[in-house]
Amino acid sequence: MPKDKKEKKDKKGKKQKKEKTEGIYSTSGLLKRTLRVAYPAGKGRMVLRTEQDWDEDIEPVYISEDGNTSTFEIAASLPFLYFKACLVDDSTLHWSVGNNNLLLMEEKDQRILYPFFFGEDNGEFSQLVEFPSQILNRTHYLRIYLPPGYHENTLATYPVAFMQDGQNLFFPEEAFQGQDWKVERTSHTLRAMSAVEDFIIIGIRSGDRMQEFTAPGYAAYGQSLAEEIVPEVQRLLRIGNHRRFRTVWGSSLGGVVSFYTVWQYPEIFGTAVCMSSTFSFQDDLIERVLNEPQRDVAFYLDSGWPGDNYEVTMAMAMALVSRGWKYGRNLLHLSFPDAGHNETAWGMRLHLPMQFLNGAVARAARAGAQVLGDKP
């Protein structure tokens, strides 16, 4: 985005760079689409500015009755367009915080944009949330990561990722051998790319992993996640109510218990992310996939090679395919040559399941499908 006198009034004072796209990716005809932008009414009026002319306001063609959602019509001779939502308050124009947004001209108007204008371009962490588990007879400890703008734009609701071994996700001083997954950094980068939509991350600190993440102990742990943690998180946060907005993540034994929980509670969760999982070590999950009724849930499976539970992960992926899972829709399996079995390796490839679950293209491909939805 070019320098602009009005932009200096932005609280962030951040100068945006203009993407150089003119004349490189032009289409032969004019492409048109609509875009909806939601922001609490009464704080100003919403306009758009685009790279076609960063000084020109694009006014909405329709505003919802409650004043919260503005609909814009965009036309461009490009397959994509960078833009910014702007808030006009009296005579002041506020640019939305963060990188320029990417508008895909061929995409249907299915995703609502929830901008914010006065916060920081970083998410935030909660203090440790503690509450007792009657099922496990111990205390749960959760660390919550909220995406930027969560407190300002209160119209937005979010998908939630429940991640095992929460002590290893965010801070090196808490993580095993000082190596954390750097989850928030990956989330921030993908957000800046407009590659994924925002989601809330719940880091669940593990108890006795060998007991709670394998059979038969994972039955109680999965029940606690479904019946104790989910209701508590739904009470505290603005999270989508449908099961497709709830995913369970883990690595190694954490991947096993994540798979088990989603398989056991398909009415509560939509997807399991299972990295380097120790399938068949004190569990019967492959046998259950082969012999039980199919669930309307999705799985992301991966592993390193050699070792790193490569063979059993392949076996689980093949079991799912044999039972009707479709690669690229409700199943993704990847292998990583020379990848180790550690927090650094899992953190490096974390961006892949994030895009599989919440990526713009992936979500558009699944829109309207019965995958991750309710079967008729």
Give the domain ranges of the chain.
Answer: 6-104, 124-366
Predicted pLDDT of residue 10: 45
Angle at 39 between CA 36 and CA 40, to 5 degrees: 140
User: What confidence tens digit (pLDDT) does each residue in 10-62 have?
Assistant: 433 333 444 455 568 899 999 999 999 999 999 999 999 999 999 999 999 99
Tokens of 320: 């799912």
Which position has the token pair 């961006």? Answer: 351
Indicate the average pLDDT of the chain.
91
Q: How confident is the model at residue 250 (pLDDT cuts 50, 70, 90)?
A: very high
Average pLDDT over residues 92-97: 96
- d(Cα 97, Cα 2) in Å, to the nearest integer? 15
Residues 6 or more apart from 147 whose CB is under 8 A from it?
Answer: 123, 158, 187, 191, 198, 199, 200
Predicted pLDDT of residue 368: 64
CATH superfamily of 6-104: Immunoglobulins (2.60.40.10)
Tokens of 47: 């306009």
- d(Cα 63, Cα 46) in Å, to the nearest integer? 9
Q: How confident is the model at residue 375 (pLDDT cuts 50, 70, 90)?
A: very low
For domain 124-366, the CATH architecture is: 3-Layer(aba) Sandwich (3.40)
Contact 336, 349 (CB under 8 A): yes
> In the predicted model, is pLDDT for residue 151 greater than 50?
yes
Contact 227, 135 (CB under 8 A): yes
Contact 220, 135 (CB under 8 A): yes
Tokens of 125: 């962490």
User: What confidence tens digit (pLDDT) does each residue in 99-116 have?
Assistant: 999 999 999 998 899 999
pTM above 0.85, yes or no: yes
Residues 6 or more apart from 105 whose CB is under 8 A from it?
Answer: 31, 32, 33, 74, 76, 78, 79, 80, 81
